[in-house]
Amino acid sequence: MSFPRLLLLPALLLTIVVIFWPKKTSPPTPPAGPTAPLIIELADLIERPHWNELDRFQHTISRETFLHRLTTIYTKTDVWKKWITVTNDHALIGDYQLHFASSDQPAPGAIWDWKERLSPTPDLPLKGLHLAIDPGHIGGAYAKLEERHHEYPNLHPEMKPIQEGTMTLETAFLLKELLEEKGAQVTLVREKCEPLSPYLEENFHNPRLFYRTSEIRARAKLINEEIQPHLVICLHYNANSSGPLSSEQHFHILLNGTYSESELANEDERFAMLQRLLSGVIDEEIPLAAHLSAIFSKKTQLPAYQYSRLSTVSQNVALNPFLWARNLLANRLYMCPVIFMEPYAMNSTKFISRYKKNPRAIYQEYAHAVAEGIVSYYATAQ
């Protein structure tokens, strides 16, 4: 039987296909996608201190002043004795020896001279003052991530969310204008609801390291290396830990201090504490905060906030009910006097009802009260 001609061509094609069919290979590798993000850990964000930077404070502080600041502001118990030995004429901090002066001498700033005097005129009492305003947190699209976002869709469906970092920025813009009217040079540490951190959220396993640690360290770098002001005002709005049903509002100012045992155990924190202690920021911070708190509490009618007496991380300062010493990243790292404001309670019924009516009235009240306090202090301090 002859092969039907009709089938000849398909048979030939089939043979060709079988011969040239590609051999089975391993599954193709997918095209190269974006590389996995670099992961940043806490240790990557911390710089090891150079203890010889404290040489500028040799023979500037008396033993009495050193011990007084250490025990009334920077620590609450004698845990510091684990790391600091005080003899008659020097303090030994690890291997570093700091010599006391027989009486207090003018001390320099830890990095720059924030003590140079102003040049006020009657119309411009803040002339010569360079002030940095740090609007706390980031706000906007970051408010939920940083847990500074309050909304109550059932109770207050029409209200736009309360976002701390957005409100502090609004307040900062108003405060800047008021201080400039009185002659100050004012720099905002941020001008948008955007992070300053050079990293992205995806660079961290722990988001707090992004929005808190790396963000505040980026702000500290800007303040300490570029802005170098006479003073930093950190603006915050407080919140009640008890939640939104409490009506209670209050006010306090946080100055850097009350280092706990675990904080002192960190070499970088111990070093920063000594930079603050030796440069004498507290001598500027206490009278300024006292002045500011008197005017602020009078204008806002907010009562003093009270921490627990048993707290190991806070203590009352200078017998002033509004002033508390606490070691926060911002008030530790900004290497000049720092006034850290904590007024109102964003999640209180009183705040919410004011916010619903007119949020701007709150920002105005806050900014005017701070500006008046600062003007009044510098006008009398000259």
- Contact footprint for Zn ion (CB under 5 A): 136, 236
CB of 375 to Zn ion, least distance (A): 25
CB 368 within 8 A of CB 308: no
CB of 299 to Zn ion, least distance (A): 21
Nearer CB in complex with Zn ion: 239/288: 239
Nearer CB in complex with Zn ion: 199/340: 340
Closest CA to 370 of 233, 195, 245, 266: 233
Nearer CB in complex with Zn ion: 178/330: 330
Residue nearest to Zn ion (CB): 236
Nearer CB in complex with Zn ion: 286/346: 346
CA dihedral 343, 349, 350, 356 (to 10 degrees): 100
Nearer CB in complex with Zn ion: 69/236: 236
CB of 146 to Zn ion, least distance (A): 9
Residue 129 zone, left/alpha/beta (φ > 0; ψ -120 to 50; rest):
beta
CB of 110 to Zn ion, least distance (A): 25
CB of 335 to Zn ion, least distance (A): 21
Nearer CB in complex with Zn ion: 91/338: 338
Whole-angstrom distance, CA of residue 17 vs CA of residue 5 = 20
Our CA angle for 246, 353, 137, nearest 5°, is 75
Structure tokens, 358: 């007119």
Structure tokens, 62: 């008396």
Nearer CB in complex with Zn ion: 120/135: 135
Nearer CB in complex with Zn ion: 150/236: 236
Whole-angstrom distance, CA of residue 240 vs CA of residue 350 = 12
CB of 365 to Zn ion, least distance (A): 18
Q: Name residue, tokens 């009640």.
A: 240
CB of 296 to Zn ion, least distance (A): 16
Whole-angstrom distance, CA of residue 9 vs CA of residue 52 = 91
Closest CA to 148 of 200, 208, 197, 202: 208
CB 152 within 8 A of CB 349: no
Nearer CB in complex with Zn ion: 184/333: 333
Q: Where are the alpha helices (DSSP H) in the chain?
A: 5-20, 42-45, 63-69, 164-181, 207-208, 215-222, 261-264, 267-279, 281-300, 329-333, 349-357, 359-381
Query: Would strands 96-99 and 90-93 be described as parallel, antiparallel, or unpaired?
Result: antiparallel
CB 135 within 8 A of CB 235: yes
CB of 235 to Zn ion, least distance (A): 9
CB of 173 to Zn ion, least distance (A): 17
